Structure 1
Amino acid sequence: MELEVAQVVSKVTVHDFVLDYCDRMEWAPGKMDDSLYWAVGQGAGIYVGTLNEQPITGVAIFQHNESYAFIGLYFCEEQHRGKSYGLKTWRVARASLNPDINLVLDAVPSAVSLYEREGFKRAWTSSFYALSTKTIVQEYSKHPAILLRKREVCTVPANTVDFQKLKSYVENVIGIAFARSDFLNLWITLPSHTALAALNESQDVVGFGVIRETITLDKNGYRLGPLLADSGDIARILLYTLAKDVCPKQKFIIAAPAEINPEANRIVTELNTDCVEEGVNIRMYTKADPPIIAAKYFSVFSGNIVG
């Protein structure tokens, strides 16, 4: 039997196969990430390769606008690797897009050479850390800079802020525009997400942070992403405020782009004295890097949906 590759239209397949695989691989997907997959862009989608009526491969291409698409969820069941099934699935999915679009992905180091052969170029690195919420609260509850800045900055639920202001702030920092606003709207309103915006005295957005429950909350805790802020102290305020709302026995998984933002590196060092990386991703593009404001980028959105 040959591998049959098709775009997925069944939400059951996405939840029961794609998210289940991500969980088995300990990628710690968000509890309701499958709700987000249907709210991204106007092109591509999730593709699954089936062999003998059993799904064995997957890849997703989320097109956020006419010139930018993110590739995630690329996998092949272990017993079927080495037979080009994953590559066939990849190429069918990629063929659904305009060849001139800028494709972006986060690659594990061992896969970089594969993606380079497919036309991707290295950009920058993000590192994963598991941070204790208890440590965050203890370290930052009396942090002098945070106490000072809290007089100037307030945090509020993100869904209470003028949506266009929030959207403009996010798009400006990460360097891409969302063609569909329902994606960002879901990101700040899903019941498994806690989203905060930081406002200055003029009520301008100066920071944005979201945590979301992982699919196995007891094992993986929460994912932080994005964490965007005009300064390190505002990032700390958001991080501290988010941590206070989470059970102190839990943890955050943060993907900090420390290579391009030294202040992000200082934060994870403050909160994890050993500063042990749990993993590394290499951001790669097929075209020019988007105009990211690196100094405001403290944690990426998601390595499967936006980056």
Structure 2
Amino acid sequence: MTGFEIGGASAADMEMIRAWADEEGWNPGDTDRFAFAVADPDGFLVGRLDGEPVACVSAVRYGTGFGFIGFYIARPRVRGQGYGIRLWKAAMSRLDGRLVGLDGVVEQQDNYRRSGFRPAWNNVRHEGVPQAGDDGGVRVVDAATLPFSRLAAYDRKFFPEPRDAFLSAWTGLPGRTALAAVRDGQVEGLGVVRPCSGASRVGPLYAATPEVAAALLRRLAEHAPGGEIAVDVPDANPTATALLAALGLVPTFEAARMYTGPAPTVDLPGLYGVASLELG
């Protein structure tokens, strides 16, 4: 493996990683990289062979006890030659001592098991145009009109560590729409839609009830070209799966949410769509 070096990703590398993920059919958001960069500026690694980028991975630290692996890609011409596993080991070393999560595509899940990961649930991508309906009196507002501290506190119900910097960028980047459901002054739902190469991705999608989730989905779809959206739904929340089917969205892709230890305690009944398969 002479000539193979691992280093941190540059801004240009982040754009390259996004393009690689698109080639894999993962449909990442057009501007996700800008939010990812603030989540953990040193959390993206690139492997170079004789100076040419051939592999990438993210190993993002959250708080003091959690980490998330994503964007694990080796270019087709170097697969099976050991470069990817060297990069993987560097990523896992960066997260040593933490509970680590990832969303593993089907063909890689056995490899992740050998690295100590165990499945917690599947995130199943549902795509389509939500059927029209009555919002049932759910009050939906621009999330930017609420104090950010309230949004961050709400996000903590669904994620094992604070991620305020990431959430601020994720909800506020140009071209995105972040909506919140509010009742009696309390946040009861939050959703973000972002442009992608394919169907616009919705995530996260949090809701106190299916009615709140449906109202948010319909309103978010108004900001997607042709109304077509994609949501990564935990199958551990059967109410969410049933709602997406009732709204006319169909499964197109799945990845196993896996952890190196017991799954963290989060509000699964309120989790209708994860923020990102790449960073959790």
Pairwise same-fold verdict (TM > 0.5)? yes
User: Distance in 2 between the 1:111 and 1:225 partners?
Assistant: 23
Contact 1:208 1:229 in 2 (8 A): yes
User: Distance in 2 between the 1:57 and 1:129 partners?
Assistant: 29
Q: 1:51-73, CA deviations, whole angstroms, 9 ceiling, x for partnerless residues?
A: 12110000001111110111110
Deviation of 1:246 (Å) = 2.9
Residue segments in structure 2 that go unaligned for 5+ positions in a row:
none
Q: 1:112-138, CA deviations, whole angstroms, 9 ceiling, x for partnerless residues?
A: 110111111111111112112xxx2xx
Residues paired across the two proteins, number: 279
Deviation of 1:93 (Å) = 2.0
Deviation of 1:176 (Å) = 1.6
Residue pairs, 1:1-307, within 5 angstroms: 1-8=2-9, 10-15=10-15, 17-41=16-40, 44-97=42-95, 99-132=96-129, 136=130, 139-141=131-133, 143=134, 146-147=135-136, 150=137, 153-172=138-157, 174-179=158-163, 181-200=164-183, 202-214=184-196, 216=197, 220-247=198-225, 249-257=226-234, 259-272=235-248, 275=250, 277-306=251-280
User: Distance in 2 between the 1:49 and 1:2 partners?
Assistant: 10
Contact 1:41 1:65 in 2 (8 A): no
**TM-score, structure 2 as length reference:** 0.95
Deviation of 1:41 (Å) = 4.1
User: Distance in 2 between the 1:197 and 1:271 partners?
Assistant: 20
Q: 1:10-66, CA deviations, whole angstroms, 9 ceiling, x for partnerless residues?
A: 201211x21111111221111111101221147x51111111211000000111111
User: Distance in 2 between the 1:114 and 1:297 partners?
Assistant: 27
Contact 2:152 2:167 in 1 (8 A): yes
Deviation of 1:177 (Å) = 2.2
Contact 2:205 2:274 in 1 (8 A): yes
User: Distance in 2 between the 1:231 and 1:222 partners?
Assistant: 23
Contact 1:119 1:286 in 2 (8 A): yes
Deviation of 1:159 (Å) = 1.4
Paired residue secondary structure (2:29): coil
Deviation of 1:303 (Å) = 0.5
Deviation of 1:96 (Å) = 2.1
User: Distance in 1 between the 2:210 and 2:24 partners?
Assistant: 32
Deviation of 1:221 (Å) = 2.8
User: Distance in 2 between the 1:129 and 1:54 partners?
Assistant: 36
Deviation of 1:250 (Å) = 4.5
Residue segments in structure 1 that go unaligned for 5+ positions in a row:
none
Contact 1:131 1:254 in 2 (8 A): no
Distance 1:289 1:161, change over 3 A: same
User: Distance in 1 between the 2:122 and 2:223 partners?
Assistant: 29
User: Distance in 2 between the 1:221 and 1:27 partners?
Assistant: 11
Paired residue secondary structure (2:189): strand
Contact 2:69 2:91 in 1 (8 A): no
Q: 1:61-119, CA deviations, whole angstroms, 9 ceiling, x for partnerless residues?
A: 1111110111110000011101111110111122123x220100000122111011111
Aligned partner of 2:64: which letter? E
